[in-house]
């Protein structure tokens, strides 16, 4: 699809402020059952971001933010441990087929450029990256020798390629690190990007380069309408570290950086925890929305317990559902492989579905327009014991059919879960008998 902004060099944010409704806003409005003016107004306020790099021609744009469906992101990419391109393409297919609105390419080793270019060319979903990973892998220098200009040049290369949003860990500045040094925490820094920025700052003695050169960085992003996704380098890596001085000190910085990005015409998403007990999640979402002036909130997890490796798609679905129901807008998927290995294609499928469940359950709770429509169809299909209709409306139509067909019931119309004791069948018969009686 073409890009309405192309000649004008206006970002979605600038266009919205100027009162213009872009083609991307119209598409988002139609998908979300909202008026174009509703979308424009919230884009102008920064409450909705439409990550849409002017160079991502194949993009089917999505809005992320207040009043919209909760979106999900799938991480993939090659690393030093594993660079199996066919498998990464299989992950892309699974992500797109199962309705992920976003794919982050976290490749950090070897020839990252051709894969990224091909991915952007083929992906209708928005594409995100963490340029810092690529800088480390691609520049092939010792960390402390990488300069601020090097980092900015990698960011520009990603922007030219058509990346729609980039995670930038600009909030981990000296001020935020004071809290970290003073109060300590159980698991220090678990953000990969955050740990690298921290190590770079320690080794060079310099201020965070993304913070120090934030205005230059914004200028690059603005030229291509790249949305900045402000990374949470100090996100908790265990429930004990959640909502602590380190995390909140950085969040305060992210709020200030949000305003500066908007002033520079750049759209913003803010990233959030992490690991967190259920009863802290709602307060964290409210805190982010307040400190970051209503900017869209993108959460990784939160994982509601630390002790379920192998099942972190479930701990994360619990936390993600609660977060999104409380107002978070965008969920980063977590797979069963989290904390254990790079996910394979099946892990990706399990992660995507768990994340879609969390997003959809939250949309029901926060009354996103038409969110209950699919559930109503499922209820009708169940009442009619219409199995094909059930599978058709299911988030994953394949697995339930396989389960159902693996155990043929003796009583037609039922499944072996209840068999002849099927409550729906029993009640349908009892109600039919009643009607017959009252007809006599």
Cα separations (Å) of 197 from 148, 269, 418? 11, 20, 56
Structure tokens given for 104:
């982050």
With CB under 8 A as the contact rule, which of the stretches 213-221, 224-232, 244-252, 361-369 interacts with its own copies? Answer: 361-369
- In the annotated binding site for substrate, the residues are 75, 104, 133, 169, 191-193, 232-235, 271, 298
Taking the complex as a whole, the smallest distance from the CB of residue 156 to its own copies amounts, in Å, to 22
Taking the complex as a whole, the smallest distance from the CB of residue 321 to its own copies amounts, in Å, to 5
With CB under 8 A as the contact rule, which of the stretches 25-33, 37-45, 211-219, 307-315 interacts with its own copies? Answer: 307-315
Please state, in angstroms and rounded to a whole number, the distance separating the CA atoms of residues 301 and 310: 14
Structure tokens given for 251:
């969040």
Which member of 245, 374, 385, 389 binds its own copies (CB under 8 A)? 374
With CB under 8 A as the contact rule, which of the stretches 10-18, 152-160, 161-169, 385-393 interacts with its own copies? Answer: 385-393
380 makes contact with its own copies (CB under 8 A) = yes
The number of angstroms, rounded, from the C-alpha of 440 to the middle of its chain's C-alpha atoms is: 59
**Closest Cα partner for 193 from 159, 227, 166, 160?**
166
Q: Is the dihedral angle over the CA atoms 378, 382, 386, 391 positive or is it negative?
A: positive
> Which residues, 99 to 118, sit near its own copies by CB under 8 A?
108
Taking the complex as a whole, the smallest distance from the CB of residue 4 to its own copies amounts, in Å, to 34
Taking the complex as a whole, the smallest distance from the CB of residue 249 to its own copies amounts, in Å, to 17
> Which residues, 163 to 192, sit near its own copies by CB under 8 A?
186-192
**Closest Cα partner for 132 from 56, 44, 210?**
210
DSSP annotation string for 261-324: HHHTT--EEEEE--B--HHHHHHHHHHHHHHTTT--EEEE--BS-SS-TT-HHHHHHHHHHHHH
Beta-carbon contacts of residue 133 (< 8 Å; ≥ 6 apart): 106, 107, 108, 192, 193
Q: Give the angle subtended at the CA of 13 by the CAs of 12 and 18, to the nearest 5°.
A: 95
With CB under 8 A as the contact rule, which of the stretches 62-70, 206-214, 220-228, 352-360 interacts with its own copies? Answer: 352-360
């920064």: which residue's tokens?
A: 46
Alpha helix ranges (H) inside 308-385? 312-325, 345-365, 373-383
Taking the complex as a whole, the smallest distance from the CB of residue 77 to its own copies amounts, in Å, to 11
> Which residues, 266 to 305, sit near its own copies by CB under 8 A?
277-279, 304-305
How many residues of this chain interact with its own copies, rule: CB under 8 A?
A: 105
With CB under 8 A as the contact rule, which of the stretches 31-39, 91-99, 293-301, 353-361 interacts with its own copies? Answer: 353-361
> Which residues, 318 to 347, sit near its own copies by CB under 8 A?
318, 321-322, 325, 336-342
Taking the complex as a whole, the smallest distance from the CB of residue 400 to its own copies amounts, in Å, to 4
> What 3-state class would DSSP assign to 37?
helix
> Which residues, 213 to 272, sit near its own copies by CB under 8 A?
237-241
Which member of 388, 410, 436, 438 binds its own copies (CB under 8 A)? 410
440 makes contact with its own copies (CB under 8 A) = no
> Which residues, 55 to 84, sit near its own copies by CB under 8 A?
79-82
Taking the complex as a whole, the smallest distance from the CB of residue 168 to its own copies amounts, in Å, to 17
Asked if 95 contacts 352 with a C-beta cutoff of 8 angstroms, the reply is yes
The H or E element containing residue 104 is strand 102-105
19: left (phi over 0), alpha (psi -120 to 50) or beta: left
């159980």: which residue's tokens?
A: 186
16 vs 190 by CB, closer to its own copies = 190
19 vs 419 by CB, closer to its own copies = 419
> What 3-state class would DSSP assign to 127?
strand
- In the annotated binding site, the residues are 75, 104, 133, 169, 191-193, 232-235, 271, 275, 298, 339, 415, 418, 422
With CB under 8 A as the contact rule, which of the stretches 32-40, 92-100, 165-173, 355-363 interacts with its own copies? Answer: 355-363
Which member of 6, 57, 382, 386 binds its own copies (CB under 8 A)? 382
Please state, in angstroms and rounded to a whole number, the distance separating the CA atoms of residues 16 and 44: 5
- In the annotated binding site for [4Fe-4S] cluster, the residues are 415, 418, 422
Taking the complex as a whole, the smallest distance from the CB of residue 277 to its own copies amounts, in Å, to 5
Residues β-bridged to residue 167? 229
56 vs 91 by CB, closer to its own copies = 91
Which member of 202, 283, 369, 386 binds its own copies (CB under 8 A)? 202
Taking each continuous run of H as one helix and of E as one strand, the counts in the chain are: 19, 10
Please state, in angstroms and rounded to a whole number, the distance separating the CA atoms of residues 96 and 103: 9
Binding mask 8-47 for its own copies (x = CB under 8 A): ----------------------------------------
């Amino acid at each position: 699809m073409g890009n309405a902004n192309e000649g004008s060099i206006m970002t979605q944010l600038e266009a919205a402020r100027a009162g213009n409704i872009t083609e991307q806003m119209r598409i988002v409005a139609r998908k979300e059952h909202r008026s174009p003016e509703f979308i424009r107004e919230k884009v102008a306020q920064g409450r909705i971001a439409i990550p849409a790099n002017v160079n991502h021609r194949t993009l089917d744009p999505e809005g992320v933010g207040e009043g919209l469906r909760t979106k999900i992101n799938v991480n993939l990419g090659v690393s030093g441990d594993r660079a199996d391109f066919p498998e990464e393409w299989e992950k892309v297919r699974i992500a797109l087929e199962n309705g992920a609105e976003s794919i982050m390419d976290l490749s950090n080793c070897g020839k990252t450029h051709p894969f990224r270019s091909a991915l952007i060319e083929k992906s209708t979903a928005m594409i995100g990256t963490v340029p810092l990973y690529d800088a480390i892998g691609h520049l092939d220098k010792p960390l402390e020798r990488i300069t601020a200009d090097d980092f900015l040049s990698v960011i520009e290369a990603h922007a030219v390629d058509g990346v729609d949003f980039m995670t930038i860990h600009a909030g981990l500045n000296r001020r935020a690190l004071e809290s970290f040094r003073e109060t300590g925490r159980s698991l220090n820094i678990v953000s990969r990007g955050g740990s690298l920025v921290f190590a770079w700052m320690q080794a060079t003695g310099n201020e965070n380069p993304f913070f120090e050169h934030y205005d230059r960085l914004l200028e690059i992003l603005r030229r291509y309408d790249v949305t900045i996704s402000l990374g949470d380098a100090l996100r908790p890596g265990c429930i004990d570290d959640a909502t602590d001085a380190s995390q909140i000190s950085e969040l305060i910085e992210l709020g200030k950086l949000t305003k500066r990005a908007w002033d520079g015409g750049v759209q913003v998403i803010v990233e959030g925890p992490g690991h967190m007990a259920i009863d802290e999640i709602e307060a964290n979402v409210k805190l982010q929305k307040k400190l970051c002036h209503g900017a869209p909130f993108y959460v990784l997890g939160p994982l509601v317990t630390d002790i379920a490796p192998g099942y972190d798609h479930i701990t994360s679905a619990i936390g993600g559902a609660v977060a999104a129901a409380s107002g978070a807008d965008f969920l980063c998927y977590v797979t069963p492989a989290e904390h254990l290995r790079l996910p394979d294609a099946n892990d990706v499928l399990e992660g995507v579905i768990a994340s879609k469940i969390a997003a959809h359950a939250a949309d029901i709770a926060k009354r996103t327009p038409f969110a209950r429509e699919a559930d109503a169809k499922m209820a009708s299909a169940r009442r009619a014991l219409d199995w094909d209709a059930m599978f058709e409306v299911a988030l994953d139509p394949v697995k339930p059919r396989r389960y159902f067909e693996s155990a043929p019931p003796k009583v037609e119309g039922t499944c072996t879960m209840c068999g002849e004791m099927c409550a729906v069948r029993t009640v349908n018969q009892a109600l039919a008998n009643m009607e017959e009686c009252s007809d006599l």
